[in-house]
Amino acid sequence: MSPHRPIPAPLSARWPTLAATALALGCIAGAMPWSIGTDTALRLVAADLDAYGVALAASGPASVRLLPLPRLDLRGVRFSEAAGLPLAEGGRLSLVLDPLTLPRALLGGRIGIGSLSLDDARLHLPEGADDARWAGPLRRLAERSRAGWGGHPHRVVLHRAALDGRVVLRDLDLDIAWPAWRAAAEAQASFTWEGEAVRLALTDLHPADLASGGLSPFSARLAWGAGSLSADGQARFADGLRLAGEGRLETRALPRLLAALGRDAALLPFARSFALEGRFETEGPAVMLPRLRVSLGQNVLDGAGAVNIGAARTAVQATLAAESLDLGPLVAPVAEALEGGAGAPVALAPYTGGDLDLRLSAAAARLGPVALEDVAASVLVRDGAMELALNRAGLQGGTLKGRVALAPAEADPAETELKAQGALDRADLGALLADLGAPRWMQGQGQGHLALESRGRDLAALMARLSGRAAVSVDRGTLVGLDLADVIQRNGGVAAGALARRNGRTPFERVNLSVRFADGAGEIGEATLQAQTLTAALRGGFSLSDRSLRARAELSPRAAGARPGPLFDLAGPWDDLAVRALRSDEPDLPAGTLAAEPLAGPALLPARARAYAP
């Protein structure tokens, strides 16, 4: 047998295998981290970071990877601006070489940063208006952004970062991408703010145009648990950032949102569920809203307005109109205060946290069971005071007007001064009573006016100090449920079952009632009923705090030579009034000393009285 001997292959045949092996070994070596000196690593990036006005220090180890792209990693890093104030510190920093600047980097002995990733770091935002630590780096970044694709990092990523300063954010994940081949940049972020998870998306922004003072489109979306904000439009830097476009804000907890922002607003407790959308333009702290739609609960209003987010107070001005308004939910905080009893506070501070100039109009409105038409109203809040004006409203065929002014008392700012005026003209009283769910015990066209004022810290004090006057008159009406002529004929008695059947009627020509208020008590100055065959008069007084009445009523026939009609005492709480017929020889006691004696029987005056004695 011939011996077997290896025959060496030609070198050209072995070259592909050797090349592949070398390439594989090179890739493995390039992908592995190689430790380098921390000082050496810092020198490599110092020049590029210095162009942004930023200095970098590191207390941990440094390493380099060559593949897939050259990358430098450092730990325990600290970024600071020119004066040494910290910008960010802690965590791990990864800097990726910009492949388009690779020749320059190799020849110059420094790294051109293509992307930056920072993990577990704490960023220091400005603490106040005088803290301008980020002003220099941001100005340098704007200058380099105008230089084109090679003047800025193409991606910045933050993982698990925290922001401290005037704004505090936790668990921040941020990804800003501005590729070299695109003019537009985009950013995605998620973080925790005030204990609530928030997501942010910003797209279509052109940083180079913005840095050059030109217009840049933008699209922004912000969402959190209780609301969202979206805006699309154009941005420009001209004496500050200016924005214009279309936007929408929606929140189910506006007071909580403004409190988290450190802001306040007028009438804030009324705006719980709130949405705003339309066109906007910003100029400094001012936001103009030339086309606006506001949603408060089920109410939708259209118009225009402006918001000024000043250093001290937020000022809002708006003119809004609606086809229909439901005012019940808007006055819910007032109703809750009234239900709280006489001790409920009447402090203005929760409602006057900002300035407000609001003009409202509606074709129809509803306040509980009461329907209004053609409403025009205004609300003015300024310097801690409030003025509510109902300039015009149609009410059951008539017109209603009113004005309420509330302001801190000069002698004691903890107290609230109240001034109220109102007027009603030619309203259908029967229809109004039906709307209120009360018996239609009186029909006719009513008119009246009132002027009241008071001062106090709570409802009890306001009632105890109330003073002013009120007057009401009704023309050509009917007293329903009682025939006063029959009462005169029966010498003060009422036919059995007449009140329960409510079939009695007393037509009248006019009813007048005037009341003077002083220290929470009302004195009936004039209360008369003029009918064709009789007259009726009432005099006495009542207490607002005790909700009680003491008065004397007199019926008189108008026939010539007729004997005097019966007298009645009325006394007791409003919801349980006692009526007692007086003997003709009983002395005429002052109303303040009348003591009614409740007896069994139906009520005479008023309709809800529960005792009557013939």
Boundary-marking domain end, from 165, 181, 197? 181
Amino acid letter, residue 53: G
Rounded Cα distance between 586 and 582, Å, is: 6
Residue 462, SS3 per DSSP: helix
Q: How confident is the model at residue 17 (pLDDT cuts 50, 70, 90)?
A: low
Helix (H) or strand (E) holding 135: helix 135-145
Q: Residue 58 domain-assigned?
A: yes
Picking from 144, 164, 181, the residue at the C-terminal end of a domain is 181
Token couple for 291: 């086309």
Q: Is the CB of residue 173 less than 8 Å from the CB of residue 192?
A: no
- Structurally, the chain folds into a number of domains equal to 2
* pLDDT range class, residue 361, cuts 50, 70, 90: very high
Q: What is the pLDDT of residues 137-171, one digit of tens each?
A: 888 888 877 766 566 788 899 999 999 887 889 99
pLDDT beyond 90 at 222: yes
pLDDT over 60 at 19, yes or no: no
Q: Given 3-state DSSP classes, what are the helix, strand and coil percentages for the chain, each rounded to the nearest 5?
A: 20, 50, 30
* 573-596 residue pLDDT tens: 987 888 888 855 444 444 333 333
CA–CA separation, 425 and 553 (whole Å): 27
Residue pair 183/167 in contact by the 8 Å Cβ criterion: no
pLDDT at 610 over 60: no
pLDDT for 250: 94
Q: Which of 281, 378, 368 is nearest to 320 (CA)?
A: 378
- Asked if pLDDT for residue 26 goes beyond 60, the answer is no
Higher pLDDT among residues 363 and 369, named by residue: 363
172 in Cβ contact with 91 (< 8 Å): no
According to the model, what pLDDT value does residue 600 have?
30
Q: In this structure, is residue 491 part of a structural domain?
A: yes
- What's the mean pLDDT when you consider all of the chain? 82
Is 397 domain-assigned?
no
Within-domain flag for 189: no
- The pLDDT of residue 335 is 63
Task: Determine, yes or no, domain membership for 36.
Answer: yes
Higher pLDDT, 214 or 491: 214
Does residue 519 belong to any structural domain of this protein?
Answer: yes
When pLDDT is averaged across residues 408-420 and rounded to a whole number, the result is 89
HEC letters along 525-576: EEEEEECCCEEEEEEEEEECCCCEEEEEEEEEECCCCCCCCCEEEEEEEHHH
For residue 583, the enclosing domain spans 466-593
Distance separating alpha carbons of residues 368 and 37, to the nearest angstrom:
77
* 291-300, 334-343, 434-443, 482-491: segment of lowest average pLDDT: 334-343
Q: Which of 157, 181, 205 is the last residue of a domain?
A: 181
- Encoding tokens for residue 140? 């340098």
Alpha-carbon dihedral sign for residues 367, 372, 375, 380: negative
Is residue 137 one of the residues assigned to a domain? yes
By DSSP bridging, strand 548-557 and strand 55-58 are unpaired
8 Å CB contact between 180 and 153: no
Report yes or no on 562 lying in a domain: yes
Residue-wise burial string across 212-239, b where 16 or more C-beta atoms lie within 10 A, e elsewhere: eeebbbbbbebbbeebebbbebbbebee
